[in-house]
Structure 1
């Protein structure tokens, strides 16, 4: 593993504040990472306990180490947050007071040169959160046809030069390392004036595709709703427009009573709101936080509350 073992939790104060008042609460940190958010919740919210979930074996190992002093206040499971209901049941928890979803990948992953997440290091193109399952980024690059690659880069990375990049990759196969892929992209985007690295969007697209991230976001939100008690809260941190759009639309849909098309004169959907949105305006990192932790710059926090039983007519 690389030298960097520290992951700075994003929007830490804001996340803890979102769960204020839920003393004695049971929480799910569905994207545990190294346990930074969990540690702060346990320290700041009296008598709280947490179920921590992460797909990454190395993150789970480090979190167990970092949180061992909290004893039985924290239970940790290796798993996917799309299975959080079953995981919570395994710990005899049928309902919880709060759920946190931090949809970014951690510094442990990006700074580990062997994982293939970063174009800063030369390594095998893997990019799997769970290295024991699924196909690697290299497998994807060398098996999809040109049209499929172009579609992936455009859909998941919003890469405008997706077609020419896909064509060049197919011509250069096999592409097995991060530097090989970065060189292909750099040769195409030499004159780019963008502030972001030329490879950023393609690497994002590959990571999302390999880990089925966008599909998992929707499923994870649905699982969280099943777990939340009346009055419980969900806090979600997203990092790019694709996942933030899913979060925003999901919370909005579940916060209104009718989802019928505007053209319908009378409501026929029988849909009722189950949550209310806490922060009408998305919460972003302060300039100070961005300066201390540049990786937080694109973070957006959205908070919602399961409608308390007393407010349900």
Structure 2
């Protein structure tokens, strides 16, 4: 089995955004996308009063991160769960409120760099793509069972693939002869279906289809849609939610969720905003922050990152 590498994106900036919420005794960071633990390690090293609850749906990532962070003892707790289960995780651990929640979205090094997991298109491997390999349908299941319409939809929406309908039709034709099981066969189909001029721009021609399949297999947008409000609701006053997104659909969802809780919900012509109608959170970042050219040069995965953060400044109405 190949070994994963791990280069956290915007590490110093992320830790700087989290630090103001983690400077007191007993502070709790929920690293909702633990991966190999790079962000958690930096927080544990730099925020000496804080503890980290690391959530990941991938048992192998939890094992590796646990080994990496073992020297921090009971300041680190790893939990096998999806990140929309933040309220249940905190409740199970007897934690009333989180002081910070971090999401580093998309596929992690744990999945991308291990060819056997089937996320990468440059090496032949089983078409799996499950972040939690113990449960749920695989990418092969999607390819072999979805209708032409559903396949085209996910390729178009999640992969922004211009040739979605054409690719879906080819998949449906070919699976009648032999089901899809390996990434190499899918890549070969994509080379056949995407015209040569289009293959010469926009990166590897399989990138968009593999991204779309991964997002569908793991219900990434559905989980995120539930997780961001859950994270916001879990925050103590002074707590922060920090999100790194790598896809326009993810970032749009995060932007809307943050706008909802940082905007005054009263008529525009009201002369004075009642105190109980003031937003409970404020934006910490102005728009979405990006990686600079130096970081992108050293870590190409940083090229598409969008970083946003909010801070709770008062309890929600009706919350003590």
TM-score range, shorter chain: over 0.9
CA–CA distance in 2 between the matches of 1:149 and 1:281? 33
The counterpart of 2:243, out of the listed 226, 229, 236, is 236
Alpha-carbon distance between aligned partners in 1 of 2:169 and 2:277, rounded to the nearest angstrom? 46
Q: 1:295 is matched with which residue: 276, 298, 301?
A: 301
User: Distance between the aligned counterparts of 2:5 and 2:150, measured in 1?
Assistant: 37
Q: Post-superposition shift, 1:191?
A: 2.5
More helix by share: 2
The offset of 1:301, in angstroms, is: 0.7
Q: What are the residue-to-residue correspondences of 1:212-251 with 2, within 5 Å?
A: 212-251=219-258
> Is this contact kept in 1: 2:35–2:109, CA < 8 A?
no
Which residue of 2 is the match for residue 160 of structure 1? Answer: 162
Matches within 5 A, 1:191-270: 191-192=197-198, 193-258=200-265
Q: Give the distance between the partners of 1:111 and 1:279, measured in 2 at CA.
A: 31
Q: How does 1:1-313 map to 2 (within 5 A)?
A: 1-3=1-3, 5-21=4-20, 22-24=22-24, 25-173=27-175, 174-189=179-194, 190-192=196-198, 193-258=200-265, 273-308=279-314
Query: What displacement does 1:53 show?
Result: 0.4
Deviations 1:43-69 (A, max 9, x none): 111311110000001100000000000
Q: Give distance in 2, aligned partners of 1:30 and 1:160.
A: 33
Structure 1: which 5+ runs fail to align?
none
Cα pair 1:253 1:259 within 8 Å, conserved: no
TM-superposed CA distance for 1:106, in Å, is 1.2
Moved more, 194-203 or 270-279: 270-279
Q: Distance in 2 between matches of 1:151 and 1:240?
A: 17
Give 5+ residue unaligned stretches, structure 2.
none
Cα contact 1:85–1:94 (8 A) shared by 2: no
**Structure 1: distance between partners of 2:96 and 2:188:** 50
Q: How many residues align?
A: 303
Deviation string 1:249-284 (CA, Å, 9 cap, x unpaired) is 110111112288x9xxxx9xx975221111113111
SS at match of 1:142: helix
Counterpart-to-counterpart distance in 2, 1:281 and 1:141 = 37
Paired residue secondary structure (1:208): helix
Q: Is the 8 A contact 2:54 2:79 kept in 1?
A: yes
- Return closer, same or farther for 1:177/1:226 CA change in 2, 3 Å cut-off: same
CA distance in 2, matches of 1:176, 1:20: 45
Query: Could you tell me whether the CA contact under 8 Å between 2:291 and 2:305 is conserved in 1?
Result: yes
Q: Which stretch has the larger CA shift, 18-27 or 46-55? A: 18-27
- Shift of the 272–217 alpha-carbon distance from structure 1 to 2, 3 Å rule, reads farther
The answer as to whether partners of 1:82 and 1:223 remain within 8 angstroms in 2 is yes
